[in-house]
Amino acid sequence: MARDLQSGKIVALKRVRFLNMDPESVRFMAREIHILRRLDHPNVIKLEGIVTSRLSHSLYLVFEYMEHDLAGLAVTPGLRFTEPQVKCFMRQILAGLHHCHGRGVLHRDIKGSNLLIDDNGVLKIADFGLATFFDPAKTQHLTSRVVTLWYRPPELLLGATEYGVAVDLWSTGCILAELLAGKPIMPGQTEVPNY
């Protein structure tokens, strides 16, 4: 958390160290910035700027500040979301994903900690570190090593390298079930089932 000295606005900083960074890490960071600059929607986190620091050998991505994340709220003792709240959150997630998918972006890591919520109940999809561009009209090979395990769809668990928006929608369905059940529905430590 930081304050923009010009506007006085509270912002969030994501620190990316670039000391001895390998080319692959730089490529991923550049892709995330490129993706964030392409997106502009009320339910997608807004990249407000980029700040560099030669002293700390870091790059800071500057975002609008959000007070909470869905995962943190979901485990708050005594807090249980009402059905209207769940519907409101789901509508916002789906609206944000519709925008991303319409601009050729797969998020590939929808989970509660990447869904930020402000004090007014506005939800924004964040953390595009695993996101990628896609074209539904073309076949492209992608990695199956994306999406946090508890929210990973079956095709990725089975090693699929050709997929589309369904991976984000599966994760969103897991979020819906989690909000209604009050706990994650498919927690696991490994991709291999224990029989």
**143 and 172 assigned to the same domain:** yes
**57 and 78 assigned to the same domain:** no
What's the confidence (pLDDT) of residue 194? 52
**72 and 165 assigned to the same domain:** yes
**41 and 130 assigned to the same domain:** no
In a domain, 150, yes or no: yes
Of 46, 64, 82, which marks where a domain is finished?
Answer: 64
Q: Which two tokens stand for residue 103?
A: 């601009």
Query: Range of 74's domain?
Result: 68-181
In order of 25, 50, 73, 83, 120, the CA distances from 125 in angstroms are: 22, 19, 15, 20, 15
What's the confidence (pLDDT) of residue 57? 72
**30 and 90 assigned to the same domain:** no
CATH number at residue 43: 3.30.200.20
Three-state secondary structure call for residue 94: helix
User: Along the chain (195 residues), what's the average pLDDT of each consecutive run of 10 residues?
Assistant: 86 79 78 94 96 79 95 89 96 98 97 96 96 92 92 94 96 96 86 59
**24 and 87 assigned to the same domain:** no
CATH number at residue 138: 1.10.510.10
CA separation for the pair 38, 43 (Å, rounded): 14
In a domain, 159, yes or no: yes
**73 and 11 assigned to the same domain:** no
**88 and 60 assigned to the same domain:** no
In a domain, 191, yes or no: no
Three-state secondary structure call for residue 76: coil
What's the confidence (pLDDT) of residue 191? 75
In a domain, 190, yes or no: no
- H-helix or E-strand spanning residue 89: helix 83-102
**174 and 78 assigned to the same domain:** yes
Domain total of the chain:
2
What's the confidence (pLDDT) of residue 98? 98
In a domain, 188, yes or no: no
The answer to whether residue 109 is catalytic is yes
Please tell me which residue in 69, 109, 127, 168 is annotated as part of the active site: 109
Which one-letter DSSP state was computed for residue 135? -
CA-based end-to-end distance of the chain:
45
What's the confidence (pLDDT) of residue 3? 87
What's the confidence (pLDDT) of residue 157? 92
Of 64, 81, 111, which marks where a domain is finished?
Answer: 64
**79 and 175 assigned to the same domain:** yes
Three-state secondary structure call for residue 48: strand
What's the confidence (pLDDT) of residue 186? 87
**107 and 53 assigned to the same domain:** no
